[in-house]
A and B are shown apart, each in its own frame.
Chain A
Amino acid sequence: MTDTVAPEQLVFIALQANSDTISIIEAIMADNPRAVLNEYPAMVKIDAPGRLVIKRETIEEALGRSYDLREIQLNLISLGGSVDESEDEFILEWKRV
């Protein structure tokens, strides 16, 4: 099976804007060069064409401590795209089979 991503469709993740998420947002933006950060009162919404990858390792580096990706639940507001979650990566994408 080969997944070809439809590049024009956006996936997104929305997070609360607080001191926990500063590093998480930083890590997401570093790992996803095509992502766009939209800032609203008390929240941010990160849009990316086709696919967005959130990596545990990058967040751990930014936070300076170990991080369980499921912790993202604490500050998650919403998302768009199919979720694939493992210990190391939290992936949002629109798959075309």
Chain B
Amino acid sequence: MSATEELKPVKKLNLKENYSLLTRGLGWEPTYHTKAAVYPMMAFEGIKIHDWDKWEDPFRLTMDAYWKYQGEKERKLYAIIDAFQQNNGQFQVTDARYVQALKVFINGVTELEYLSHRGFCILSREFEGVGPRIAAQMQSIDELRHAQTQIHAISQYNKYFTGMSCFPYQFDHAWYLSIPKSFFEDAVSSGPFEFITAISFAFEYVLTNLVFMPWMSGAAFNGDMATVSFGFSAQSDEARHMTLGIEVIKFLLEQDPDNLPIVQRWIDKWFWRGYRLLTLLAAMMDYMLPKRVMSWSEAWEIYFEQNGGALFVDLARYGVRMPKYWEVTVKEKGLVSHQLWSTFYQLRHAVAFPVWLPSDDEMDWMSAKYPDTFDKYFRPKYTYWKELEAAGTPYIVDTLPVLCQTCQWPTLFAEPDDPMQTCHRESVYKGETFHFCSDGCKDIFDYEPEKYVHAWMPVQQILQGNCFLPGVDPTAPDFNPLVEALKYMGIKPGIDGGDFATCQDARNWEEWTKRAASMYEAMATPPVATAAE
């Protein structure tokens, strides 16, 4: 090579060329092993890929740009978290009930980010194509960042409020957290193509807008700038993940017509599983945000019916139809948040956050937002429960619920056309009966019973006597599996769970802020007048 050639300035690559070098130029053909040996997970799901080079990542993000922009996002985020902490932001939020929503978030959602990090880490090894491997690698790093920033932002609350300090422990032990945990572990333990369809497409493209837009906007509305900042910072990655999700679907369907029925079944399965998981969010939006931006029902209309509907119109050219049972989700949109909150209230001694009945003002908001359902099916029950509380005989249920074998919620949902009748479905598989909350969950089990018979069902485990701390003798005559199970789950009676009005967080909030623990109620102990005597 001559000296003049060396000095010749390199032609600046455009975005497409740059991206192409990263995702094509860095791959190589194996010589001393077969491709099937190097990528052993590519075949068993039945997906057929003929040409990985047809993969197109629309964002074409190269590594230099990735680190540059992620670094900037982190700097912005941490500037806000610092300001939040320095200004005692944890006491500037609406009230102490809002904090309970963060408790649900750190215990039930943050771990999903971490599981997602692990899932994409696996994909970044397993995919044969370089383009999707790079995208999976970036996403794996993103998801780890989300877990870390959420833990960091919420750590400030942990200094002042109960129930957040053992979140990884609770995620692995608390009965209702088996719902998010089993969702993600179901995905991680499937194959690479199912995982990416489940998480990138069905969950992130179709459903997570509901988490990060109306919910995070709600956090802002309630004065929580730390949460809204990590939420939006995460969601800016999510936009890239969503385009990965839609690209995956198009790529799989363009590669081989035989992929369509497999992909459609995954869309059906993971839409339903994700939808059921989001019931938690529905209750958080309608009940745990003291100031509300929109109802769950409105959010479902905007983000699923309208935006998701547009997506499926677009995908129709590949032969993909709307996810099975989407009509049920529309019928249920006026019900699920209220059904779940009622269930939490009924089981409030067994969850790790305190529960309350909505105030009269909030019930009026619900009547306005849910004109067809709230006054008819839920206001009378809340009114009755308030009467019982006022009479000093509060309603409580201390019997364990029947759980759905697929989604692991108590079977709390109604028949789609009969809101006051619980939906019961069951299957008998190899002589054993399994229960489900819906046709959607029953279908999922019936297709893969080999997998779901193995599910770790909390109620069953408690009743088998498997949930107790070391040192406890389950054969002792006074062994109480329910009491021991609460200890095992890290739920401390009188501190976690129970009634909000008397919980430690509410009492501390009033003492420290001199404001009511619920913005809709008077202070439990009015502040002492400080006027001169």
Contacts and interface: CB of A to CB of B under 8 A. Distances in A.
A73 interface: yes
Contacts of B246: 82
Contact of B60 (A16, A43, A75, A85): A85
Contacts of B314: 6, 9, 82, 94-96
Contact of A80 (B58, B218, B232, B311): B311
Contact of A70 (B61, B214, B238, B239): B61
A9 B308 CA distance: 10
Given A77-B239, A78-B235, A82-B246, A43 B59 contact: no
Contacts, number: 96
B212 interface: yes
Interface string B220-252: 110000001000100110111011001000000
Interface string B182-215: 0000000000000000000000000001001110
Q: Which of A45, A70, A81 has the most CB of B within 10 A?
A: A70
Given A11-B310, A80-B307, A85-B58, A41 B76 contact: no
Contacts of A73: 61, 69, 73, 236, 239-240
Chain B at the A interface: SS class? helix
Given A74-B73, A94-B314, A85 B59 contact: yes
Size range of the interface on B?
35 or more
Contact of B213 (A9, A10, A78): A78
B29 interface: no
Given A42-B216, A77-B213, A10 B235 contact: no
A14 to B, nearest CB: 6
Contact of A74 (B15, B59, B236, B310): B236
Contacts of B217: 40-43
Contacts of B60: 85
B195 to A, nearest CB: 22
Contact of B14 (A78, A79, A87): A87
Interface string B68-79: 010011001000
B310 A40 contact: no
B310 A78 contact: no
B383 to A, nearest CB: 31
B58 A41 contact: no
A86 B60 CA distance: 9
B232 A43 contact: yes
B391 to A, nearest CB: 39
Given A41-B217, A77-B235, A9 B310 contact: yes
Nearest to A49: B310
B313 interface: yes
B205 to A, nearest CB: 9
Contact of B72 (A9, A74, A78, A81): A74
A75 B236 contact: yes
B16 interface: yes
A71 B311 contact: no
Contacts of A83: 58-59, 243
Nearest to A13: B239
B369 to A, nearest CB: 16
A69 B30 CA distance: 37
A14 B236 CA distance: 9
Given A77-B232, A83-B59, A94 B243 contact: no
A10 B307 contact: yes
Interface in A48-97: 70-71, 73-87, 94-97
14 contacts: A9-B310, A14-B213, A40-B213, A41-B293, A43-B213, A73-B61, A76-B239, A77-B212, A77-B236, A78-B238, A80-B311, A83-B59, A94-B310, A97-B317
Interface of B: 14-16, 58-61, 65, 69, 72-73, 76, 209, 212-214, 216-218, 220-221, 228, 232, 235-236, 238-240, 242-243, 246, 293, 306-307, 309-311, 313-314, 317
Across the A-B interface, give the 9 residue pairs with the lowest CB-CB distance, nearest first.
A42-B220, A9-B310, A83-B58, A41-B221, A41-B220, A94-B314, A40-B217, A80-B307, A77-B235
Interface of A: 6, 9-12, 14, 16, 40-43, 45, 70-71, 73-87, 94-97
